[in-house]
Structure 1
Amino acid sequence: MPLFNSQIHWQGMGNTVAVGLLTLFAVVSYVEWSSNAAVTEFISATEASASDPNQSNESPASIQSSRAERGCPQGKRPLPTELMPLP
């Protein structure tokens, strides 16, 4: 039995390449579509929050204190109350 078969199955190779290219095209199309959908959703959410007349007028301190009451979800540590400058 020879190590390599001298007959090449061109039709099988062609089918394999075609299926691979179609799969690649489908994956790239899905990623592009989902990225466009995410960008559209982000832009609409940003525009809606910027134009919302019922937007909360709470001060940053009260927002920060309400966040601190919830605490950190990991380890149940409190959130930091002030930012420290970088060295």
Structure 2
Amino acid sequence: MPSMDDQSRISRTIDRLGIVRILLVQVMVLLALVGAVVRYVNWSSEVALQEFLRAGRPALAGASSKPQPKPQPELQTVKGKAACAKKV
């Protein structure tokens, strides 16, 4: 059985190889996360660019480049009177 001096000396030693392994694993995980973030940003910016470019094109091939006026909604009548009639 080891003496108390040997046990205290063993418990005080630093496992340098274990620390290096832990640091290496942490760096590898960090690099993997950075790579995933970079790929996501590239993918999302490409998708956003394609959406932006599609938004500038007219919906129909024969459509004119001038914006068409929007149709006005019809007034609804309530009991024979216009809903937005002004009071005098």
TM-score range, shorter chain: 0.5 to 0.7
In the alignment, the residues of structure 2 paired with residue 53 and residue 29 of structure 1 have an alpha-carbon distance, to the nearest angstrom, of 37
Determine if the alignment matches structure 1 residue 41 to structure 2 residue 52. no
Structure 2: gaps (5+ residues): 1-6, 74-88
Instruction: Flag as ranges the 4+ runs of structure 1 deviating above 4 A.
Output: 55-58
**What number of residue pairs does the alignment pair up?**
61
Greater length-normalized contact order (CA 8 Å, ≥ 6 residues apart)? 1
Which 10-residue stretch deviates more, 35-44 or 4-13?
Answer: 4-13
The 1:12–1:53 alpha-carbon spacing in structure 2 relative to 1, beyond 3 Å, is same
Determine if the alignment matches structure 1 residue 59 to structure 2 residue 59. no
Shift of 1:24: 0.4
Percent identity between matched residues is: 15
Structure 1: gaps (5+ residues): 63-87
Normalising by structure 1, report the TM-score. Answer: 0.56
In the alignment, the residues of structure 1 paired with residue 43 and residue 36 of structure 2 have an alpha-carbon distance, to the nearest angstrom, of 10
Paired position in structure 2 for 1:15: 21
> RMSD value over aligned CA atoms?
3.0
Higher-strand-fraction structure: 2
Higher-helix-fraction structure: 1
